[in-house]
Every structure is written in C-alpha cells, then in structure tokens.
C-alpha cells in the first residue's frame, strides 16, 4: 500500500509541471492547444482497453470459483439437469435411483442427455398429481415435483447423499436425515440454492397456498414457501436446502424472488425415499454383499 501511495505521489509531482509547460508553450506558439484527431482516437481506445482490462482483473479476483473436484459420474443434485430443469435430490423408488426435479419444464418420458448430446442421463418419470382437485380449472399436487430415472451408468455410487452447490462446495446429507415439510420451515430460516450453477442464499420470507386464476397459474399447491433469493429461468426443479437440510424444489418466481414447494410432501406423493447414505441403502453393481462400493 505504501508503494502504491508513493508511486501516485511521485507521478503527480513529475507530471504536473511538464503538463503546465506544454500547455503554456502551445498557447504561446499557436494561440490555442490542438490535439490531432488520430492521436485523440488512440488515447480514447487506450482508455477503453485499460478499463476493460481492469474490469476483467477485478472480476477474476472477486468472482467465486469452484474449489471442489467433480466426481465421475458427476453428482447432478444441485446442478443443471436438462434444458431449463435443475437437479434436486437423489432418492430411490424401490431399488431404482432417481433424481428429483419438476415437471413444469419437461414431461414424462423425456430423455435427458449429458452436455455431449449423446450420453443418456436418464428418462423423466411422472409428475406429482392428486387424483382429484376441488378448484375448477386447476390440477392439484402436494409439491411441484417429478423425477429423473437415472441411467445405470450415470449413478454416482458412493455420493448419492451429496448435493453439489458449485462454488459453495458439496453438502453431505447425514444418515437418517428427515426431509423438511411445510410446517418445518419458519420465516427467517436460511435458504440455499444453486440452480443454473449459480449459488445463492437468503431468508425464508413467507408461506402461503398457491392458488391463482387458471389463466395465471393452473396449478394448486397447498404450500408455497417464498424466500429472498433472486431467481430466473433454469432454476426450476433445483434443490432447496433450509438450515442446510433438504427442504424443497424451486418452483415459482414472485416478482423475481424464489418460491419453492416442500420436499417431504412431494417425496411421499411420488413414493420416493430420500438418499441419506452414500449408496442409498442399496448394493452398487460389482460390490460385495455388505454394500460397500463407490
């Protein structure tokens, strides 16, 4: 810091007398100071380039960077999954490993691919849906959730209880963790999301039912939780953690802020069990009878 201060001071003392002299000389010889247009253009361009360079340096220094390694296959819980869908949490339906997401950005039977456009990540299953709905023009569900049946060669065995929050690192779900329901979440609770691979956090700001005119939103959810976190297309379906506990699925934008539906109710409606151990209480292919592997 001392060197920088000294440099600025020394530069000012050396430059100002020279600048005054130049201006004075120009005034005496030409009556006014002139700057050639080509030279002016060079000065302007140099200023722009210096500004861009300084911005790039500051951005590189201040922008958060990932510090954790990627697994192979990668953990897609908390990451971009397919199209505008983000990945939620790993769960199992019987002996089948699935990854939660939301049905409003895809449909049952849709095949999801890796970024290479060839490797299959899995196939989307059904959307959570009540058999009947008392609100005309609406369909009802406990949560805005569906799931991806993960392709057998894309299951990250040994890491099924992990959520990848990008620059914020991994969140490991402890054994026996109970997913949160609507009544488990309180105003002010800390919320984390990572849809679009952009980590954000903020507080819970309220809870209400999701019931609007069919023209605005044809879905009815008995519980919609809002949080002070900015969202955009691509966040849908993403994992929501409250107090670092699996709690919900990103569902709606309310004036640009997050609205999410509860995880526990959605898992129950779809017959899913949250993975809270590395292999989700299953035996990975090629592992011994104890289930060790991954």
Please choose, from the candidates 266, 270, 267, 293, the residue with its C-alpha nearest in 3D space to the C-alpha of residue 282.
293
Contact in structure between 127 and 103 (CB atoms under 8 Å):
yes
Contact in structure between 76 and 121 (CB atoms under 8 Å):
yes
Is the CA virtual torsion 212, 213, 215, 221 positive or negative? positive
Q: What are phi and psi of 230, to 5 degrees?
A: -70, 140
Residue-level pLDDT, tens digit, the chain, 294 residues: 333 332 223 333 333 232 332 222 333 344 444 545 666 556 556 665 555 454 444 444 456 788 899 999 999 999 999 999 999 999 999 999 999 999 888 999 999 999 999 999 999 999 999 999 999 999 999 999 999 999 999 999 999 999 999 999 999 999 999 999 999 999 999 999 999 999 999 999 999 999 999 999 999 999 999 999 999 999 999 999 999 999 999 999 999 999 999 999 999 999 999 999 999 999 999 876 654 444
pLDDT at 9 (0 to 100): 31
Distances (CA, A) of 67 to 23, 166, 168, 251: 54, 8, 8, 28
pLDDT digit string, tens, across residues 159-204 = 999 999 999 999 999 999 999 999 999 999 999 999 999 999 999 9
pTM of the predicted model as reported, rounded to 2 decimal places: 0.77
């Amino acid at each position: 810091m001392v060197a920088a201060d000294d440099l600025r001071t020394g530069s000012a003392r050396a430059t100002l007398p020279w600048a005054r002299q130049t201006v004075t000389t120009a005034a005496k010889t030409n009556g006014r100071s002139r700057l050639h247009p080509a030279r002016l253009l060079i000065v302007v361009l140099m200023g722009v380039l210096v500004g861009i360079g300084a911005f790039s340096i500051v951005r590189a220094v201040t922008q958060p960077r990932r510090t954790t390694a990627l697994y192979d296959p990668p953990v897609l819980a908390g990451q971009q999954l397919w199209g505008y869908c983000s990945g939620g949490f790993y769960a199992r339906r019987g002996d089948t490993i699935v990854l939660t997401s939301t049905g409003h950005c895809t449909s049952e039977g849709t095949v999801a691919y890796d970024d290479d456009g060839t490797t299959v990540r899995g196939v989307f299953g059904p959307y959570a849906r009540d058999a009947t709905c008392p609100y005309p023009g609406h369909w009802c569900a406990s949560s805005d959730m569906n799931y991806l049946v993960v392709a057998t060669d894309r299951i990250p065995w040994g890491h099924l209880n992990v959520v990848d929050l990008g620059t914020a690192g991994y969140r490991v779900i402890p054994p026996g963790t109970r997913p949160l329901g609507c009544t488990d979440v309180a105003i002010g609770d800390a919320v984390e999301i990572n849809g679009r691979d952009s980590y954000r956090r903020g507080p819970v700001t309220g809870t209400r039912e999701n019931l609007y005119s069919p023209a605005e939103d044809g879905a009815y959810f008995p519980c919609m939780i809002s949080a002070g976190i900015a969202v955009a297309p691509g966040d849908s379906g993403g994992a929501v953690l409250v107090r670092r506990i699996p709690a919900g699925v990103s569902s709606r934008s309310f004036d640009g802020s997050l609205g999410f539906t509860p995880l526990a109710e959605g898992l129950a409606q779809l017959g899913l069990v949250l993975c809270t151990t590395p292999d989700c209480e299953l035996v990975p292919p090629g592992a011994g009878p104890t289930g060790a592997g991954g």
